[in-house]
């Protein structure tokens, strides 16, 4: 009985001790859970504040509050991640600035190129019009030169025919002169016959006078014959004078015709030279016309190319304007972020100042590559580590 009572008491004591121990362990457990919950709440509060700063585009914010040791790596990784993100945004901002500068330069160059292309197109168009006018004028001159050459050739034939006619006229005049000389000789013979007839009539009159009454009739006949001989001599003398005058005129005509023939020969020679020169001029004009036609074709091709260049320059200008608008939009977006100041872009600016002779596109490429090759590479490494 006593043993049973002792066992019951011991059992009750054991139960009481067990309940006490369980309550103590539960209290410790609750204390640990409360501590863990407090740590978590503190960490959540710290990260919530950081997230709010990030939501406000403040990439320069870093977690500086003390956190439990177990959360220190998380805080370090968080800060490193957003340092990398801030570096990337800063690099993008620098690159956008470089692109903006380059786009401004490209836009200015495109505007200048467009203006020059328009001026060149106008100049080429005027040149094409001038060449077309010159080509038309040369073609017309070639046609006129060809017509003139044909006219000169016809004139040369006429001059040669005129020379032949003059030669024929000279021969005819020489024949007339020879005939005049023959007539002069015949007239001289007639004059001599008239003179002799006059002498015979005179002698017959003298003999008739000696015969007296019987020779009166013969004296009348002798007188008539004498008068006829005198008239014949007078007429022969007049005819001889006329023939002599005609011979002189014919001789003068022959001289003039000879001079005319010589002049015509010179004219024919000159016209022949003119014909040769005109043929050369016609050929040269034809070659010039063909060359100008080729030049006109080439200028037309250049004009077409210039028009295409002007169109392309206008497209480039429009693209540069669009690029400037997009870059400004990027800058507006990036300007909302607050980041730390980095030294890499300064180096890029220094290098850009050291090479002012680079074109806008080259500087844009160099600055973009430089911006992304510096802090961006570090940011990528940080992200990999994270």
**What are 69-108's pLDDT values in tens digits?**
888 888 889 888 888 888 888 888 788 788 878 777 877 8
Q: Which residues contact 364 (CB under 8 A, 6 or more apart)?
A: 98, 99, 101, 102, 103, 105, 106
Distances from the Cα of 248 to the Cαs of 82, 182, 228, 244, 325, in angstroms? 134, 14, 30, 6, 109
Which contiguous run of DSSP H or E holds residue 358? none
Q: Is the pLDDT reported for residue 218 higher than 80?
A: no
Side-chain-facing half-sphere of 320: CA atoms under 13 Å: 22
User: Six-digit token pair at 206?
Assistant: 């003298």
Average pLDDT over residues 126-133: 82
Average pLDDT over residues 330-348: 61
Q: Is the pLDDT reported for residue 17 higher than 60?
A: yes
| Cα dihedral across residues 25, 28, 32, 38: positive or negative | positive
Encode pLDDT of 135-146 as tens digits.
Answer: 788 778 878 877
* Least confident range of 20-29, 154-163, 319-328, 343-352: 343-352
Which contiguous run of DSSP H or E holds residue 167? helix 72-211
Q: Confidence class of residue 18 from pLDDT cuts 50, 70 and 90?
A: low
Side-chain-facing half-sphere of 39: CA atoms under 13 Å: 11
Q: Which residues contact 365 (CB under 8 A, 6 or more apart)?
A: 102
- Between 246 and 49, where is the model more confident? 49
pLDDT of residue 349: 37
Interior angle at CA 335, CA 331 and CA 337, nearest 5: 130
236 φ/ψ sector (left φ>0, alpha ψ -120 to 50, else beta):
alpha
* Least confident range of 20-34, 91-105, 218-232, 330-344: 330-344
58 forms bridges with which residues in the sheet?
338
DSSP structure string for 198-239? HHHHHHHHHHHHHHGGGGHHHHHHHHHHHHHHHHHHHHHHHH
pTM value? Answer: 0.45
Within its chain, how far is the Cα of 172 from the centroid?
Answer: 69
CA dist 111 and 310 (Å) reads: 11
Q: Is the pLDDT reported for residue 20 higher than 70?
A: no
Q: Tell which residue, 331, 364, 349, has the closest CA to residue 92.
A: 331
């Amino acid at each position: 009985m006593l043993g049973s009572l002792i066992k019951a008491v011991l059992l009750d004591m054991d139960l009481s001790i067990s309940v006490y121990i369980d309550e103590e362990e539960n209290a410790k457990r609750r204390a640990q859970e409360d501590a863990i919950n407090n740590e978590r709440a503190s960490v959540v509060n710290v990260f919530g504040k950081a997230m709010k700063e990030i939501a406000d585009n403040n990439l320069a914010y870093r977690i500086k509050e003390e956190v439990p040791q177990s959360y220190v790596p998380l805080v370090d990784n968080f800060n490193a991640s957003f340092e990398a993100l801030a570096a990337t945004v800063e690099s993008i901002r620098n690159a956008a600035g470089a692109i903006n500068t380059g786009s401004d330069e490209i836009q200015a160059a495109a505007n200048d190129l467009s203006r020059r292309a328009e001026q060149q197109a106008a100049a080429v168009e005027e040149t094409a019009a001038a060449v077309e006018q010159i080509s038309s004028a040369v073609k017309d001159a070639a046609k006129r030169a060809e017509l003139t050459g044909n006219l000169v050739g016809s004139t040369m034939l006429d001059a040669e025919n005129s020379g032949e006619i003059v030669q024929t006229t000279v021969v005819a005049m020489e024949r007339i002169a020879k005939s005049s000389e023959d007539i002069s000789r015949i007239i001289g013979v007639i004059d001599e016959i008239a003179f002799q007839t006059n002498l015979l009539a005179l002698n017959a009159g003298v003999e008739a006078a000696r015969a007296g009454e019987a020779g009166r009739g013969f004296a009348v006949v002798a007188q008539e014959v004498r008068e006829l001989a005198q008239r014949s001599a007078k007429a022969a003398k007049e005819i001889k004078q006329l023939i002599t005058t005609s011979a002189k005129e014919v001789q003068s005509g022959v001289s003039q015709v000879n001079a005319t023939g010589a002049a015509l020969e010179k004219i024919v020679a000159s016209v022949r030279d003119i014909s040769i020169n005109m043929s050369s001029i016609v050929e040269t004009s034809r070659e010039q016309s063909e060359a100008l036609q080729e030049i006109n074709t080439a200028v037309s091709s250049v004009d077409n190319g210039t028009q295409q260049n002007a169109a392309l320059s206008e497209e480039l200008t429009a693209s540069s304007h669009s690029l400037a608008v997009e870059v400004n939009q990027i800058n507006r977006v990036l300007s909302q972020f607050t980041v730390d100041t980095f030294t890499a872009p300064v180096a890029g600016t220094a290098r850009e100042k050291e090479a002012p002779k680079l074109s806008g596109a080259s500087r844009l490429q160099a600055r973009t590559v430089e911006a992304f090759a510096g802090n961006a590479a570090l940011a990528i490494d940080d992200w990999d580590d994270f």
